[in-house]
Amino acid sequence: MAAKITPEQCLAFTAPTEDFLCPLTANTYGLEFYRFTIRDLETSAVVFDMERSAEDFKKFNEMIPHLTEDQKKRSRSIHYRFPSNFLTRKAIGAKLVFGVNGDKPVPNFRMIERHYFRNTLVKSFDFKFSFCIPHSTNTWESIYDVPNLSPEWLKAIQESPFETVSDSFYFVNDELIMHNKAYYAYDGKDL
């Protein structure tokens, strides 16, 4: 059995992980993400909005035992394509609607998100949501300060689609229950 991954270890990573640090079955609380919206705080322009139903997750959870390892990995990764000037914004808002579909309460829910470009840490976030009751739907909105990047880094990131990577680690009482990855391109039409 693999060693327990702690929040402190995740906060010390200097590059994206090569693989996922927990299996899909580690989510014994039945946490599911129903909607994720990203908006520019200056203009309120919505840059990304994705929604899934509880029924979608029920069907997916029934399929997990039949998925190949490659399909499991793909189900935990997302590729974002953002406007080319997205990284010049001062702040963005990220709104997450999630459900607790299990019978257990979720104490000390924590998300650690680490963003890297070419294996260099660009930004790290650490969010805490103290408690969620079983069979509930919850909304979590976070404000992200966009990192201040040099003109050289901005150009390199914009010219290198999907070389910017993030790891999102989700903990309950310091136990890793979910790990997702995202890949970013900043080459779309400007806001």
CA 154 to CA 147: how far, in whole Å?
10
**Cα–Cα distances in angstroms (integers) from residue 79 to residues 53, 55, 57, 66, 135, in the given order:** 20, 23, 19, 24, 29
- What number does CATH give the domain 7-14+27-188? 2.70.50.40
**pLDDT digit string, tens, across residues 143-183:** 888 888 999 999 999 999 999 999 999 999 999 999 999 99
What's the pLDDT score for residue 67? 67
- The model's pTM: 0.88
Structural domain spans, the chain: 7-14+27-188
User: Parallel, antiparallel, or unpaired: how do β-strands 31-40 and 46-51 relate?
Assistant: antiparallel
